[in-house]
Amino acid sequence: MIGRLNHIAIAVRDLGAASALYRDTLGAKVSDPLPQPEHGVTVVFIELPNTKVELLEPLGANSPIARFLEKNPDGGMHHVCYEVDDILVARDRLKAQGARVLGDGEPRIGAHGKPVLFLHPKDFCGTLVEIEQV
Ligand code: CO
Protein backbone atom coordinates (compact mmCIF):
# COMPACT_ATOMS: atom_id res chain seq x y z
CA MET A 1 0.00 0.00 0.00
CA ILE A 2 2.65 2.55 0.92
CA GLY A 3 4.83 3.85 -1.87
CA ARG A 4 7.91 6.02 -1.89
CA LEU A 5 9.48 7.57 1.18
CA ASN A 6 8.45 11.20 0.68
CA HIS A 7 10.50 12.69 3.51
CA ILE A 8 12.03 12.25 6.92
CA ALA A 9 11.35 15.09 9.36
CA ILE A 10 13.88 16.06 12.00
CA ALA A 11 12.92 18.39 14.84
CA VAL A 12 15.58 20.95 15.75
CA ARG A 13 15.92 23.77 18.24
CA ASP A 14 18.06 26.00 16.03
CA LEU A 15 17.13 25.95 12.36
CA GLY A 16 20.07 28.15 11.39
CA ALA A 17 22.61 25.83 12.98
CA ALA A 18 20.90 22.72 11.59
CA SER A 19 20.77 24.23 8.08
CA ALA A 20 24.46 25.08 8.24
CA LEU A 21 25.24 21.53 9.37
CA TYR A 22 23.40 19.98 6.44
CA ARG A 23 24.72 22.54 3.93
CA ASP A 24 28.33 22.88 5.02
CA THR A 25 29.19 19.63 6.80
CA LEU A 26 27.02 17.22 4.83
CA GLY A 27 27.14 19.15 1.57
CA ALA A 28 23.39 19.02 0.93
CA LYS A 29 21.16 21.38 -1.04
CA VAL A 30 19.26 23.32 1.63
CA SER A 31 16.30 25.66 1.07
CA ASP A 32 15.60 28.95 2.77
CA PRO A 33 13.47 28.69 5.94
CA LEU A 34 9.74 28.66 5.24
CA PRO A 35 7.46 29.66 8.13
CA GLN A 36 4.25 27.61 8.22
CA PRO A 37 2.21 29.20 11.01
CA GLU A 38 -0.81 26.98 10.29
CA HIS A 39 1.39 23.96 11.19
CA GLY A 40 3.29 25.61 14.05
CA VAL A 41 6.69 25.07 12.42
CA THR A 42 9.32 26.74 10.31
CA VAL A 43 10.64 24.26 7.74
CA VAL A 44 13.87 23.92 5.80
CA PHE A 45 13.68 21.47 2.89
CA ILE A 46 16.73 19.41 1.99
CA GLU A 47 16.62 17.79 -1.44
CA LEU A 48 18.44 14.49 -1.75
CA PRO A 49 18.62 12.46 -4.95
CA ASN A 50 16.06 9.92 -3.73
CA THR A 51 14.03 11.70 -1.04
CA LYS A 52 13.82 14.79 1.15
CA VAL A 53 14.75 15.68 4.69
CA GLU A 54 12.78 18.37 6.46
CA LEU A 55 14.19 20.28 9.40
CA LEU A 56 11.39 21.49 11.70
CA GLU A 57 11.79 24.30 14.22
CA PRO A 58 8.90 25.23 16.55
CA LEU A 59 6.92 28.31 15.56
CA GLY A 60 4.46 29.91 17.96
CA ALA A 61 3.16 28.88 21.38
CA ASN A 62 1.28 25.72 20.35
CA SER A 63 3.84 24.10 18.11
CA PRO A 64 3.25 20.35 17.76
CA ILE A 65 6.99 19.73 18.08
CA ALA A 66 7.59 21.76 21.26
CA ARG A 67 6.93 18.78 23.55
CA PHE A 68 9.05 16.50 21.39
CA LEU A 69 11.99 18.89 21.83
CA GLU A 70 11.42 19.01 25.59
CA LYS A 71 11.91 15.24 25.62
CA ASN A 72 14.67 15.34 22.99
CA PRO A 73 16.66 18.47 23.73
CA ASP A 74 19.29 17.68 21.08
CA GLY A 75 16.58 17.31 18.44
CA GLY A 76 15.74 14.04 16.75
CA MET A 77 13.83 12.22 14.08
CA HIS A 78 10.21 13.34 14.40
CA HIS A 79 8.39 11.38 11.69
CA VAL A 80 8.67 9.56 8.39
CA CYS A 81 6.30 10.26 5.51
CA TYR A 82 5.20 7.57 3.08
CA GLU A 83 3.30 8.26 -0.11
CA VAL A 84 -0.07 6.66 -0.83
CA ASP A 85 -2.22 6.81 -3.94
CA ASP A 86 -5.54 7.37 -2.15
CA ILE A 87 -5.48 8.64 1.40
CA LEU A 88 -9.07 7.68 2.24
CA VAL A 89 -8.58 4.12 1.01
CA ALA A 90 -5.32 3.98 2.99
CA ARG A 91 -6.98 5.38 6.13
CA ASP A 92 -9.86 2.95 6.02
CA ARG A 93 -7.53 0.02 5.49
CA LEU A 94 -5.30 1.12 8.38
CA LYS A 95 -8.25 1.59 10.72
CA ALA A 96 -9.62 -1.82 9.76
CA GLN A 97 -6.19 -3.25 10.75
CA GLY A 98 -6.48 -1.58 14.16
CA ALA A 99 -4.07 1.32 13.59
CA ARG A 100 -4.91 4.60 15.29
CA VAL A 101 -5.20 7.66 13.09
CA LEU A 102 -4.42 10.88 14.98
CA GLY A 103 -6.77 13.86 15.22
CA ASP A 104 -10.33 13.53 13.95
CA GLY A 105 -9.28 11.05 11.29
CA GLU A 106 -9.96 13.42 8.43
CA PRO A 107 -7.04 14.30 6.12
CA ARG A 108 -5.59 17.78 6.45
CA ILE A 109 -3.58 19.74 3.96
CA GLY A 110 0.06 19.22 4.90
CA ALA A 111 3.26 21.14 4.39
CA HIS A 112 3.31 20.40 0.65
CA GLY A 113 -0.29 21.33 -0.08
CA LYS A 114 -1.33 17.66 -0.27
CA PRO A 115 -3.71 15.74 2.03
CA VAL A 116 -1.97 14.03 4.95
CA LEU A 117 -2.78 11.95 8.02
CA PHE A 118 -0.62 10.96 10.99
CA LEU A 119 -0.59 7.49 12.57
CA HIS A 120 0.01 6.74 16.25
CA PRO A 121 3.69 6.00 16.93
CA LYS A 122 2.81 3.21 19.39
CA ASP A 123 1.24 1.30 16.50
CA PHE A 124 4.28 1.73 14.21
CA CYS A 125 7.44 0.64 16.03
CA GLY A 126 7.65 3.84 18.06
CA THR A 127 7.76 6.07 15.01
CA LEU A 128 5.24 8.75 14.11
CA VAL A 129 4.13 7.99 10.54
CA GLU A 130 2.69 10.53 8.12
CA ILE A 131 0.93 9.34 4.99
CA GLU A 132 0.59 11.74 2.10
CA GLN A 133 -1.53 11.41 -1.01
CA VAL A 134 0.58 12.35 -4.00
CO1 CO B 1 6.00 15.64 7.23
Domains of the chain: 5-133 (3.10.180.10)
**Separation of 96 CA from ligand 1 center, angstroms?**
24
- Helix, strand, or coil (residue 108): strand
Which residues are CB-contacts of 97 (< 8 A; sequence separation ≥ 6)? Answer: none
**Separation of 80 CA from ligand 1 center, angstroms?**
7
**Separation of 69 CA from ligand 1 center, angstroms?**
16
| Residues designated as active site | 130
What local confidence, expressed as pLDDT, does residue 85 receive? Answer: 97
pLDDT band at 111 (very low <50, low <70, confident <90, very high): confident
| 101 phi and psi angles, rounded to 5 deg | -95, 130
**Separation of 14 CA from ligand 1 center, angstroms?**
18
- Does the predicted model carry a pTM greater than 0.75? yes
DSSP 87: H
- CA angle, 27 then 28 then 31, to 5°: 135
- Residue 25 pLDDT > 90: yes
Structure-derived torsion over alpha carbons of residues 107, 93, 97, 94, reported in degrees to the nearest 10? -30
